[in-house]
Structure 1
Amino acid sequence: MDYRRDKTFSLFSFLHYELTRDYLLEHDEERFSAKREKVYSFMKIPMEVERYMVYGFMQCTDSFLFICTFLPIRVALACWTFVTKPFSKCFGLKRSDKLTPAKICDLLRAIILVLCSMLMCSIDPNILYHMVKSQSIIKLYIFYNMLEVADRLFSSIGQDAIDALFWTATEPIGKKRKHLGIIAHLVFAVGYVTLHSLLVLLQATALNVAINSSNKVLLTIMMSNNFMELKGSVFKKFDKNNLFQLSCSDIRERFHLCFLLFIVVMQTMKEYSWKTEHFWLLLPDCLVVLVVEICIDWIKHAFVTKFNDLPLDIYRDYTTSLAYDMAQTRQKHAFTDCCDLVARRMGFIPLPLGVVLIRILMATVTIDNGFTIFKCFLIYFILIQLKILNCILVMGRACDLINQHKQDKALAMSPVNTKGATNNKDACKFGAKEVSMNSMHASVIQQKSNMCDINRVEELKDDQLMPNDLGSAAIFANSTVDLKNATLNEELLKTTSENNRMEHMESNMTRSVINITTDFDNGDGLKRAESEPVLNCSNNGENGMTH
C-alpha cells in the first residue's frame, strides 16, 4: 500500500487497513512445513532419548552385576587353576586349563576389591553421616558440587589406571618391557579405587542427609543444581560425536544416581529396623530426585538437537553403536571385557561401586544365624538370575539392532538406489542449467558435486574392507566395533545412500560425516580394533556446524 499516492489517506483508512489486511501462509509453505517438522521432532526427542538411555542403563547394569555375581565364580576357577597348575607340571599331567589373561584380570579385580574393602572398613558410615549432618546447608551444597566434579575427574583417570595394570600383568614376555612393575601399578589402582569409593560414599551420605532432613531445603537445592546443567550444555556447540559423549555421560550419571539412592534406602531402613512403613515414606523423595534427573535429560537433549540441527534418528545410531560394543565383547576373539568396554565408552567403572556396596552391606547386614546365611545365598542366586536375564535382553536387542543396521546398509548400497542417486544427480545438474543463478551459487553446486564423487570413491574403498560374515548370529562373529574412549562407531553406521547424501548437502540440516577407519590383521583373518584410535577429522567443511 502506497500512502503517498493514496489521496484518501486518513487515520480511518490506516486503521481499516491494519485491522483488515490479509496474508497467505501458503506462499511460504516450505519454511512453515520445516518449522512444523522441527516441533514434531522436538516432541519425539524424549522417547528416542529414553530408548537409548534404557539400553545403555542395561549395559551398565550388566557390568555392575558381573562384579557382584560372575566375578566370584570366575575368581574361584582362576584360583583353582593357579593352585593345581604346579602339581600338574610336577606329575606331568596334561591339563587344558591355563592361567589366561582373562583369569589374571579377574584375579586382579578380586585383589583390588578385597584390599579396598579392608581399607574402607576403617570408615564408619554412621559417624560419617553425623559429621556431614552437622554442617550448614551452604557448606553441604558446595561440598556436594565438589564431590560431583571430583567424581568425573576420578572416572576419567580410573579406567586408564586399571587398563595399565591389566596390560602390565598380561603383557607377553617376549616384548621389551618399559614399565614400573606390576606391584607399583597395583598400588596405584588400589589407591585410586579406595579414594573413588570414599568419594561415592560421601556422595551417598550427603544425599542421605538431604533426603532425611526435616525441612528438605538441601534436597531442593541439590535438585535445582540439575537446572544449572542446562546452562552448561544447551547453549554449547555440539556435533554428532560430542553429543554421543554427552549422552554416554548422562547414562552413567543416571545409573550412579540410582546406586546412590539404593545406598540411601539401605542406610535409612537399617536405622528404622527394616520397617516397611518407613520405606513408603522414603520412596516419594527418591522418586522425585530420579524424575527431576530424567526430565532434565529430556529438556537438555531436546534443545541441544534443536539448536545444533541434529536429526531425530541420531539416537538410533548411538544405540546401534552400543549394540556393536556388546557384540564385540561376546565374540570368540574378543579384545576386552564388557566391564572395561562400558568403562571406556561411558566412564562407568563398577569397582568403586562394588567396594561401597560391600562396605554398606557389612554395616547394615548382620549374619548371626543359619537363616541369615540362607537368605544371603538366596539373594545371590536371585542376582545371578537377574544378571542372566539382563544379559539375554541386552544381547537380543543388540542382535536386532545389528541385523537392522546391516539390512539398511545393504539396501542403501543396492544398485537400484545407486542408480537412482546418479539420476537425481544428473537431474540436479540439468535443472541447474535451466534455472538462472549467479556465478557464486553455481560454483557452490559444482563443489558439492565434486565432493559427492570423492565420497563415493571413499565409500567403495571402505566397503571393500567391510566383512560380510556378520550375519544373524552377530554375537558369534567378529564385529567392526571401534574401541574409542567415548566416540561413536561411525564406520558401522554408514548406511546413507548417495541420494540421501545429496539431499543432506542441499538441506539446512548439518550432519556429521562418518569417516572413522578400522584396522584389520591379515595374518589370521580377524579384524583388529585399536583400544584408543585417533578420530579422523576429515571433511571438516561438512563437519562444521551451521549458525
Structure 2
Amino acid sequence: MPEQVKPTQRPRSKSSLSDKETHITFWKLFKNELRKNLDSKPERTTPDLKYIQSLEHLTNLYTVPFYLEQFMSFGLVYCLNSFLTLLTIIPLRVLMVSILKLRAAFTNSVPGRYRFKREDVTWILLLLSSSIAISSIDTSKIYHNIKAGTVIKLYVMVSVLEVADKLLSSLGQDILRVSFNFPLERSLSCAGKCFLVALLSTTYISVHACVFVYQIMSLNVAVNSYSNALLTLLLSVQFAEIKSAVFKRLEREGLFQMACADLYERFQLFLMLFIISVRNLVQLLMSTEFSIRSRSLGENIAISPVVISWIGMLMGPSFAVIGSELLVDWLKHLYIGKFNRIKPQIYRRYTRILSQDFLREYRQNDPDCTNPPATTESFATMNIRLGLPLLPITVAFCKMVISSVRKACSTQNFDQSVLLAVASAAVILILLRMSTYVMLIRWARHNTRAKTSPSGGDYLKGSPNTSLAGIEDIHTRSLLYGSDEKMPQSKEEQRSHNANRDGDKSLAQVSRFEMHDKRIW
C-alpha cells in the first residue's frame, strides 16, 4: 500500500493574524503613548561605559585649558630665558673673556682659567655676520609695500611665510647642528670646509631672519590698519589650524609634538607683538602732536588723551590676536583629547620632560656641579625639542630694534634720551634674564619632584575613533577574523602595552621635526 502523504501545513501568512494584533487605531496608539512606563517597576541601572566616557569628556572641558596653560607657561618662560641668554649673557661672557685676555696680553701675565667657549663664540660670530648681511633691508619700504597691497595679497603672504618658517626651521636644525659640532683641525682642507659651513649657516640665518621681518611687518600692517578685514584674515589663519589638526588620530607622542609647535607659535607671536608695540611707541614719541604738547609745561593733562587713544589702538588688536590664539589652542587640544581619549593630565608629563631638559642644561653649565650630565653635542636641547630658531629670531629682533633706534636718533629731540633708554633697556633685560633663570630652576625642580600618574593611565577607557564603526567589544571584533587567524590587538591594548613598556622613554625622544606620528607639527 502506498505510503499516504500527509498534507503539508501552509505557513500562517501575515494576513491571517488576529484582528486584535493587526487592527491599530489612532486612539489606541495615543492611549498607549500616554500610559507608557506608568505601570513599569523602577529598575536599578548601573552607568554604562558610554555614560562614563561622556562624563569624563565634559569634565575635560574645563581641565584641559588648566593643564595646557601650565605647560605653556613653563615653556614660554623657558623660551624667554633662552632668548635673553643669547641676547645678553653670551655677549657679556665673550666680552669679559676678551677683556681679561687683552689685559693679560698687555701686562704679560697669565690669563688664568678664563677661556672662550666654542659654543659662545659660534653664537656671536653667526649673530654678527647675519646681522651685517640683513642690515641693508629697509623695514619702512617693506611696511609700505605690504600696506599698499590688497587684502588677498596679505592673506597669501601670511600663509606662505608661515610655511617658509616651518621649512626653514627644520632645515636650520641640521645646518646649525653641523656648525656647532664641526671638527676643527689645523689643515687647509678643514679651513675650507669650515668656511663653507659658516657661509651656509650665515645664509640660512639671514634668509630665516628676513622671513621673520616680513612676518612682523605683515602683523604690524594688520594691527595698525583701520579696517578690520586684514585682522580678520589673520585670525582666520589661526582658526584654520582646528580643521587641519582635530580630525586626525594622535598618540601622546604626536600630541607632544603639537604642543611644542603651539608653544613656539605662541612665543613667536608674543615677541612679534612686543616688537610692534615698541615700534609704534617710538612712532608715537616722534609724532609732532605729541612733541608739541610735551613742550608746554602747563598742559601735561593734555598728553593723557593722546597716549590713552594710542594705547587703545595698539592694545585692542593685540588682545584680539592673543585671545584668538588662546581660544584656538584650547579648542584644538580639547577635541584632540576627546576624539583620541587622551587625559588632560598628559600635559603634566610634558612639563616634566621640559623641566628635565632645563635641569640637564643647568647642571651641564654649572661649574659647581659635581656630576654634570654627559652630552654628545653642544647644540641646545631647546632647539631640538621645540624647533626654536633662536639665532634667526634674535637677528630679526636686533634688526627691528636697531631700525627704531636709528629713527629716534635721526630727530633733534632724541639725543641723550635715546642712549639713556637703550642703557636702561639693557639693564632691564639682564635683570629679567636672571629673574627668569632663578624662577625656572625652582619651577623645574618642583615639576620633577611632583608625582605623575603611571604611563598606562594617560588614556581613557576605550579605543580611539572606533565608536563610529561600532567595533568595540572583543566578540564583535572576533567575527571579522577566521578561526585560524590570530586577532590583532586593539588600539586600546596597543596603547596600554606601549605605555607600560616604554614609560617616558618614548616621550623623552620626541622632537618637533622628526616623524613620531602621521604628521610633523
Q: State the match for 2:382 in structure 1.
A: 342
Offset of 1:318 from its aligned partner? Answer: 0.5
Distance in 1 separating the partners of 2:377 and 2:421: 31
- Pick from 342, 347, 351 the counterpart of residue 391 of structure 2: 351
Residue 152 and residue 535 in structure 1: after superposition, are their counterparts in 2 closer, same or farther (change >3 A)? closer
- Pick from 417, 420, 423 the counterpart of residue 377 of structure 1: 423
1:24-74 per-position Cα deviation (integer Å, ceiling 9, x unaligned): 796351321332122112331111111111111111111111122212111
Offset of 1:241 from its aligned partner? Answer: 0.5
1:307-352 per-position Cα deviation (integer Å, ceiling 9, x unaligned): 1111221111111111110111011435389982111111112211
Contact 1:238-1:308 within 8 A present in 2 as well: yes
Q: State the match for 1:207 in structure 2.
A: 219
- Pick from 437, 447, 450 the counterpart of residue 401 of structure 1: 447
Residue 5 and residue 219 in structure 1: after superposition, are their counterparts in 2 closer, same or farther (change >3 A)? same
- Pick from 210, 233, 254 the counterpart of residue 245 of structure 2: 233
**RMSD, aligned α-carbons:** 4.2
Matching of residues 104-183 of structure 1 within 5 Å: 104-168=118-182, 171=183, 181-183=193-195
Matched, 1:14 2:35: no
- Structure 1: gaps spanning 5 or more residues: 413-436, 442-450, 452-503, 519-528, 538-542
Contact 1:516-1:535 within 8 A present in 2 as well: no
Q: State the match for 2:321 in structure 1.
A: 289
Distance in 1 separating the partners of 2:355 and 2:19: 69
Residue 62 and residue 535 in structure 1: after superposition, are their counterparts in 2 closer, same or farther (change >3 A)? closer
Contact 1:52-1:316 within 8 A present in 2 as well: yes
- Pick from 13, 30, 40 the counterpart of residue 48 of structure 2: 30
Distance in 1 separating the partners of 2:118 and 2:259: 33
Distance in 2 separating the partners of 1:173 and 1:3: 103
Q: 2:219 corresponds to which letter in structure 1? A: L
Q: State the match for 1:187 in structure 2.
A: 199
Instruction: Answer with 18-27 or 6-15: which moved more.
Output: 18-27
Contact 2:212-2:393 within 8 A present in 1 as well: yes
Distance in 2 separating the partners of 1:94 and 1:78: 9
1:206-255 per-position Cα deviation (integer Å, ceiling 9, x unaligned): 11111212212111011012111111100011111111000000000001
Residue 111 and residue 249 in structure 1: after superposition, are their counterparts in 2 closer, same or farther (change >3 A)? same
Residue 398 and residue 376 in structure 1: after superposition, are their counterparts in 2 closer, same or farther (change >3 A)? same
Distance in 1 separating the partners of 2:33 and 2:499: 46
Distance in 2 separating the partners of 1:308 and 1:359: 43
Q: State the match for 2:67 in structure 1.
A: 48
Residue 227 and residue 84 in structure 1: after superposition, are their counterparts in 2 closer, same or farther (change >3 A)? same
Residue 225 and residue 44 in structure 1: after superposition, are their counterparts in 2 closer, same or farther (change >3 A)? same
Contact 1:63-1:338 within 8 A present in 2 as well: no
Residue 130 and residue 7 in structure 1: after superposition, are their counterparts in 2 closer, same or farther (change >3 A)? closer
Q: 2:313 corresponds to which letter in structure 1? A: L
Matched, 1:197 2:209: yes
Offset of 1:7 from its aligned partner? Answer: 7.4
Contact 1:339-1:349 within 8 A present in 2 as well: no
- Pick from 217, 229, 241 the counterpart of residue 217 of structure 1: 229
Distance in 1 separating the partners of 2:441 and 2:260: 19
- Structure 2: gaps spanning 5 or more residues: 1-16, 291-306, 364-368, 456-474, 480-488
Offset of 1:79 from its aligned partner? Answer: 2.8
Distance in 1 separating the partners of 2:241 and 2:498: 25
**Corresponding residue pairs, total:** 441
Residue 283 and residue 12 in structure 1: after superposition, are their counterparts in 2 closer, same or farther (change >3 A)? same
Q: 1:213 corresponds to which letter in structure 2? A: S
Q: State the match for 2:333 in structure 1.
A: 301
- Pick from 314, 320, 329 the counterpart of residue 352 of structure 2: 320
Superposition misfits of 4+ residues, deviation over 6 angstroms: 2-5, 84-88, 177-180, 336-339, 437-441, 504-511, 529-532, 534-537
Q: State the match for 1:66 in structure 2.
A: 85
Distance in 1 separating the partners of 2:154 and 2:351: 37
1:158-195 per-position Cα deviation (integer Å, ceiling 9, x unaligned): 12211211111xx37599x9896221111111111111
Matched, 1:389 2:389: no
1:109-163 per-position Cα deviation (integer Å, ceiling 9, x unaligned): 1111112222222011111111111111111111110000000111111122112
Could you say what secondary structure the match of 1:122 adopts?
A: coil
Offset of 1:84 from its aligned partner? Answer: 6.7
Q: 1:70 corresponds to which letter in structure 2? A: I
1:251-294 per-position Cα deviation (integer Å, ceiling 9, x unaligned): 00001111111222222223332663312321011000010011
Distance in 2 separating the partners of 1:397 and 1:391: 10
Could you say what secondary structure the match of 2:114 adopts?
A: coil
Could you say what secondary structure the match of 2:149 adopts?
A: coil
Residue 10 and residue 248 in structure 1: after superposition, are their counterparts in 2 closer, same or farther (change >3 A)? same
Q: 1:515 corresponds to which letter in structure 2? A: D
Distance in 2 separating the partners of 1:173 and 1:380: 37
- Pick from 234, 251, 262 the counterpart of residue 274 of structure 2: 262
Offset of 1:509 from its aligned partner? Answer: 8.3
Could you say what secondary structure the match of 2:28 adopts?
A: helix
Q: 1:390 corresponds to which letter in structure 2? A: T
Distance in 2 separating the partners of 1:291 and 1:317: 26
Contact 2:262-2:329 within 8 A present in 1 as well: yes
Distance in 2 separating the partners of 1:159 and 1:398: 25
Percent of aligned pairs sharing the same letter: 24
Offset of 1:86 from its aligned partner? Answer: 7.3
Which is bigger in relative contact order (C-alpha 8 A, separation at least 6)?
A: 2
Contact 1:38-1:306 within 8 A present in 2 as well: yes
